[in-house]
Copies of this chain bind each other. A is one copy, B any other.
Amino acid sequence: MRRYLYRGRILSLAIEDGHWEIVEHKDAVALLVQDPQKGVLFVSQHRPAIGRRTLEIPAGLIEPGESPEQTALRELAEEVQLTGTLEKLAEFYVSPGFTDEKTYLFRVHDPRPAQGVPDDDEDLTVLWRDPAEVLEEARRGELAISASTLAGLLIAVRDGG
């Protein structure tokens, strides 16, 4: 039995069986764009939840009625003005001890320019970085990265470029 304490914009809070604190959250996509010369494409942004700027691969929430692939192409256009061919690399739950949020990680093949306008509330800087360097800075705690960024970086270093 799930009793709801809050129903909001991107998440809801419930107690299950009088014991488990559960956050229902929209699913997400994350996008690995890799170039043999330039490295991996990142967005840097301030994240109110952690009070820090993060370095993350492009990502976004799946809206009702969208497939993960549709969200991926929409976010690619909005956040970094690109399009391309998608290959699913992984799917995972971000923290299944408390939330149902699932993330689909895609590689973007043959990226090319596309038209797109960022959301109003997104203050994004787009940049390319060497994935091995970012991994090491994140390991030392100097950079804040997301789970999907860590997975994308490990795959980027594995596959080279």
Contacts and interface: CB of A to CB of B under 8 A. Distances in A.
Contact of A96 (B91, B103, B141, B144): B144
A104 to B, nearest CB: 9
A23 interface: yes
Contacts of A149: 92
A96 B49 contact: yes
Interface in A1-28: 5-6, 8-11, 13, 16-17, 19-23, 25, 28
Interface stretch (A31-39, A69-77, A109-117, A151-159): A151-159
Interface string A83-104: 0000011111111111111110
Contact of A56 (B6, B50, B96, B154): B96
Contacts of A121: 19
How many copies are assembled?
2
A47 interface: yes
Nearest to A2: B48
Majority DSSP secondary structure for residues of A touching B: mixed
Given A6-B5, A138-B90, A139-B90, A49 B97 contact: yes
> Taking each of A9, A21, A54, A157, which has the highest tally of chain B beta carbons within 10 Å of its own beta carbon?
A21
Given A11-B23, A88-B139, A147 B95 contact: yes
A145 interface: yes
Interface string A123-154: 00000000000010011010011111111001
Interchain residue pairs A-B with the least CB separation, the first 9: A147-B147, A154-B154, A47-B96, A94-B95, A94-B94, A20-B48, A92-B150, A22-B49, A50-B100
